[in-house]
Amino acid sequence: MSKELEEDLIELLSPSEMADADRLAIAEAMTAGQLLERAGRAVADAASRWPFNTPVLVLCGTGLNGGDGFVAARVLRERGYRVRLGTIGLVSSLGGEVAYAAEQWGGPIEDAFTLALPKEGIVIDALLGAGLSRDITGPLAGLIERVNASGLHVLSVDLPSGIDGSDGRIRGVAIRAQETVTFFRRKPGHLLLPGKVRCGELHVADIGIGDSVLETIRPKTFANQLPLWREHFPRLTPEGHKYARGHLVVLSAGIEGTGAARLAARAGLRAGAGLVTVASPSDALAIHAVALEAIMVRRCDGLEGLAAMLEDRRRNAFVIGPALAPDEETRSRVEMVLASRRAAVIDAGALSAFGLERIRFIAALRAGRGQTVLTPHEGEFERVFDEIAGRLVSKLERARAAAEATGAVVLLKGADTVIAAPDGRAAINANAPPTLATAGAGDVLSGLIGGLLAQAMPAFEAACAGVWLHGEAANRFGAGLTADDLPGQVPGALAGLSAPGP
């Protein structure tokens, strides 16, 4: 399947949802044996990029994942590869289609726990499936550690054995694969850390399951790719003007914390907001006025200054938090913005301010009923949502639980950022490079989202688009990135997204 086609496969299926997809496909169009045969052939096709006569060791479990391995072994042998096969269970314990696949293989079957690993060639990991529900210990853990230490190229079937398909966790130990072949759709564990890095290069194989099964499954987890939010992205029109594109306000800290507000403001303007204002305390006013040109600067001292800013309804979106102190004044500012029902991005100090006032925070969020996006990193999330963080292991489920509790979109940042909506939808981002781990990058992200909210983009889609643009801008710049490089890369990232409408 081409990379272009894979980018349209935005639905992510949990292991149980993938089992439903298999069941529905069998009910509609094929037998279980045909499905197994197609999956195994897809694995063999991936391995066939290696030269003929390459030694191949196939390690099979006793479930359907192992059945894929038996089929792949047979097909590769027919194509001229030198294939050995080992299993972690008795052949007599195999049942159904897996037993038939083992019979069709017809060659020697070794004990996977005692066999000698080859000195060259590839290993096909068909030991365990995506639905792993317990930690791996004992001889199987030892086998996985031997494979990882061998230096051999590993091709995993569906997911590297030991990775939980629902959340990307390592269950005890896990295979470190150089490439992985999965079927029909990716799983959350392919995109969430540490599973993401254990998969290596990921291939999505078409094994004949029709997209119609998604109408029954109705998945709510997605990869954060263009098809998820492109139709909601703001479009320029010939009759448009700057006031129609919204007015973003970024609240600035005092004289020692002005840079964060400017980063957010510049990003908001680049994201397309028609006007952007930095609301500055008096002691920082001159600094902003000298540093900013297309962005306006307005005096905003204390709660009275913010109240005056809120009187103009055209100021329809706010970014509040970058460099602000986590104190009572910040809490009150957040409550004022939420009560005004403006679109808002709440970040950094504005989140930490509610670390001991989470009930108050949740009440303000739910009463505001605005288009609100919270952007915590892991530390901020634990401070504000400690009960959720302590109860749930999965990053995906933690973000979902916080979104449900607050009624806001929750963007849990990291190399595998998760964006969750109160209605249960969630997206996992995959385009963020390591260079984004730099001071101020989060302020730019808040500004991007704020600029999209100002243009009336729905909160979930705005958060997803902002995260994607953030990653794309960083990828365009490359090594040596600092946060102030990011806004200048946004026009390139926007190319093709904001072309004028008809």
202 and 253 both lie in a single domain: no
Q: Where is the domain boundary, 152, 176, 210?
A: 210
174 and 259 both lie in a single domain: no
> What is the total count of domains within the chain?
2
Instruction: Label residue 480 exposed, middle or buried (CB < 10 Å: 0-12, 13-18, 19+).
Output: exposed
d(CA 76, CA 55): 10
Nearest alpha-carbon partner for 208 in 36, 82, 81, 10 = 36
138 and 202 both lie in a single domain: yes
Query: Quick check: is 414 in a domain?
Result: yes
Instruction: Look up residue 456 and give its DSSP letter.
Output: T
Q: Report residue 44 as tokens.
A: 């063999």
Q: Report residue 158 as tokens.
A: 């569906």
How many CA atoms lie within 13 Å of 375's alpha carbon, on the beta-carbon side?
28
382 and 335 both lie in a single domain: yes
CA 118 from centroid of its chain's CA atoms: 36
239 and 206 both lie in a single domain: no
d(CA 469, CA 445): 9
Q: Where is the domain boundary, 176, 210, 244?
A: 210
Q: Report the relative pairing of strands 82-87 and 110-111 from DSSP bridges.
A: parallel
356 and 482 both lie in a single domain: yes
Query: Quick check: is 190 in a domain?
Result: yes
Element (H or E) spanning 248, and its range? strand 247-251
Name the β-bridge partners of 248. 276, 317
Cβ atoms 370, 338 nearer than 8 A: yes
d(CA 456, CA 246): 8
| Cis-peptide, bond into residue 194, ω within 30° of zero | yes
Spatial CB neighbours of 21, under 8 Å, sequence gap ≥ 6:
13, 184, 185, 209, 213, 214, 217
239 and 204 both lie in a single domain: no
From the CB of residue 263, how many other CB atoms can be counted at a distance below 10 Å?
26
- Fill in the amino acid letter for 296: M
Query: Quick check: is 203 in a domain?
Result: yes
d(CA 12, CA 377): 23
Cβ atoms 192, 224 nearer than 8 A: no
d(CA 125, CA 122): 10
Nearest alpha-carbon partner for 184 in 156, 155, 214 = 214
Q: Report residue 167 as tokens.
A: 């959340």
Query: Quick check: is 367 in a domain?
Result: yes
250 and 387 both lie in a single domain: yes
Q: Encode 358-373: b = buried (16+ Cβ within 10 Å), e = exposed.
A: beebbebbeebebbbb
- Kindly give the confidence (pLDDT) of every residue in the chain, 502 residues in length, as a single tens digit, with 9 standing for 90 and above: 445 545 689 999 999 999 999 999 999 889 999 999 999 999 999 999 999 889 999 999 999 999 999 999 999 999 999 999 999 988 888 889 999 999 999 999 999 999 999 999 999 999 998 888 889 999 999 999 999 999 999 999 999 999 999 999 999 999 999 999 999 999 999 999 999 999 999 999 999 999 999 999 999 999 999 999 999 999 888 888 888 899 999 999 999 999 999 999 999 999 999 999 999 999 999 999 999 999 999 999 999 999 999 999 999 999 999 999 999 999 999 999 999 999 999 999 999 999 989 999 999 999 988 899 999 999 999 999 998 988 999 999 999 999 999 999 999 999 999 999 999 999 999 999 999 999 999 999 999 999 999 999 999 999 999 999 999 999 999 999 999 999 999 999 998 674 443 3
Q: Where is the domain boundary, 155, 175, 210?
A: 210
203 and 341 both lie in a single domain: no
339 and 438 both lie in a single domain: yes
245 and 200 both lie in a single domain: no
47 and 123 both lie in a single domain: yes
d(CA 428, CA 444): 19
Nearest alpha-carbon partner for 330 in 312, 308, 315, 347 = 347
Query: Quick check: is 378 in a domain?
Result: yes
How many CA atoms lie within 13 Å of 70's alpha carbon, on the beta-carbon side?
28
Query: Quick check: is 222 in a domain?
Result: no
d(CA 412, CA 394): 12
What pLDDT does residue 502 have? 33
- Fill in the amino acid letter for 211: D
Q: What's the whole-model pTM score?
A: 0.95
With residues binned 3-state (H G I as helix, E B as strand, rest as coil), the percentages for the chain, rounded to 5, are 45, 15, 40
CATH number, domain with residue 183: 3.40.50.10260
Spatial CB neighbours of 148, under 8 Å, sequence gap ≥ 6:
175, 176
Helix (H/G/I), strand (E/B), else coil: 156: strand
Query: Quick check: is 220 in a domain?
Result: no
Query: Quick check: is 113 in a domain?
Result: yes
CATH number, domain with residue 335: 3.40.1190.20
**Which structural domain, as residue segments, surrounds residue 131?**
3-210
